[in-house]
Amino acid sequence: MMVAPKPLFHVGHVPVYGDVILAPMAGYSDVPYRALCRAYGSAMHYTEFVPVEVLLGRQVAERFRMRLDKQPGERPMVFQIFGNDARLILQAAQRIVAWGPDVIDVNMGCSTRKVSGRGAGVGMMPQPALVAETFRLLSTHLPVPVTGKIRLGWDAVQQNYLEIARIMEDNGAALIAMHGRTKSQKYDGRADWDAIARLKQTVSVPVIGNGDVQSPADIERMKAHTGCDAVMIGRAAIGNPWIFARRCREDVGLVDVVTAVRRHALEMARYYGESLGLTQFRKHLKQYAAGFPELEAMMPTLLTATTLSEFENYLAEVEIRDWRLEIDRSLISNL
């Protein structure tokens, strides 16, 4: 008899079956990349963030509409939006509910001046009344759970994440994800995991910890240190989907990397079309190749490929060179 898997936690009524989650990353966590991460075990997916103003226009620009695409069966799927006006955030959320998210998330962590400078992203954190109204409206009027992704606060002095988290929870947030840095830190310094532990002790909704998880050992360390319900991984997952299978990057061989590169390139080509897909794939490819001299040496050639078959041929060349090396090595060791 098949035993049904047990959810590790719920976002409102939505079950989540794992504890490692790909972070939303604009320019990276698109449909093709998420397909790879899901295959290796990422338990829940966020879209790249989308500004609410774009969603309220008469026609949503294609590049933003694509950000809210998802694959059949890609669940739970969290659509992430950002804005600085509670009513507009609600209207945008109501519009995209028809596109099938399991959860809607409000980005309260983006630190770029363009976003935070106008009171959106982490710019919401110094505005507790705006946070309260946003979560009250969304949790009252949407048929799906509402969550938020925050930072510690604006700067070292204004670390108001506990106050903001309580406000979110009191106004219906079903989960809080936190990147353990302030706005002024951007990505500098180390993420504060003690703060994530304090957040977990303060709220009763599930907490996702985020920041500086780079290896399977870090996943366990963050969980033990903070008690968080799940760990979210961003930069360390680029070119490294194996982290979702709790596999160390050092243990991944060239054959595995070439297999992942082949699959990822194919997903990109299918989704964006061959030429654009391969261009968009370049930034991923550089990360996959890191630490593999055979692949790094082939990089200038691989980057010129404009069709999938060209790309495949160059990849096959990498494999052939690797086999030749293997054969040479075994001949030498048998001498």
Ligand X SMILES: Cc1cc2nc3c(=O)[nH]c(=O)nc-3n(C[C@H](O)[C@H](O)[C@H](O)COP(=O)(O)O)c2cc1C
Compute the distance between CA of residue 10 and CA of residue 44 in angstroms, rounded to an integer: 11
Q: Report residue 274 CA to chain centroid gap.
A: 24
Catalytic residue check, 110: yes
Q: How far is the CB of 244 from ligand X (least distance, A)?
A: 12
In the structure encoding, which two tokens stand for residue 103, read together?
Answer: 């959860």
**How many helices (H) and strands (E) would you count in the chain?**
13, 11
Q: How far is the CB of 122 from ligand X (least distance, A)?
A: 10
Site string for ligand X, 220-239 (x = CB under 6 A): -------------xxxx---
Question: In the set 25, 66, 88, 245, which binds ligand X (CB under 6 A)?
Answer: 25
Task: State how far the alpha carbon of 202 is from the alpha carbons of 148, 163, 262, 277, 280, in Å.
Answer: 16, 10, 45, 44, 41
Stretch 115-154 residues interacting with ligand X (CB under 6 A): 149
Q: How far is the CB of 333 from ligand X (least distance, A)?
A: 40
The dihedral through the CA atoms of 311, 313, 317, 318 has a sign that is positive
Does residue 26 interact with ligand X by CB under 6 A? yes
Does residue 107 interact with ligand X by CB under 6 A? yes
Does residue 80 interact with ligand X by CB under 6 A? yes
Compute the distance between CA of residue 38 and CA of residue 52 in angstroms, rounded to an integer: 27
Does residue 23 interact with ligand X by CB under 6 A? yes
Compute the distance between CA of residue 91 and CA of residue 283 in angstroms, rounded to an integer: 35
Q: Rank residues 65 and 235 by Cβ distance to ligand X and give the closer one.
A: 235
Compute the distance between CA of residue 321 and CA of residue 294 in angstroms, rounded to an integer: 8
Does residue 212 interact with ligand X by CB under 6 A? yes
Please enumerate, as own/partner, the contacts of 290-298 that have beta carbons within 8 Å and a separation of 24 or more: 290/239, 291/249, 292/254, 292/257, 294/254, 294/318, 294/321, 294/322, 294/325, 295/254, 295/257, 295/258, 295/261
Interacting span for ligand X (CB under 6 A) from 20-28, 83-91, 112-120, 241-249? 20-28
Question: In the set 208, 213, 265, 305, which binds ligand X (CB under 6 A)?
Answer: 213
Residue whose beta carbon is closest to ligand X: 234
Q: Which helix (H) or strand (E) holds 265?
A: helix 254-272
Q: Rank residues 44 and 308 by Cβ distance to ligand X and give the closer one.
A: 44
Q: Rank residues 191 and 308 by Cβ distance to ligand X and give the closer one.
A: 191
Does residue 66 interact with ligand X by CB under 6 A? no
Does residue 109 interact with ligand X by CB under 6 A? yes
Q: Residue 77 is which amino acid?
A: M
Q: Which residues are catalytic?
A: 110
The site for ligand X (CB under 6 A) is made up of 23-28, 48-49, 80, 107, 109, 149, 179, 210-213, 233-236
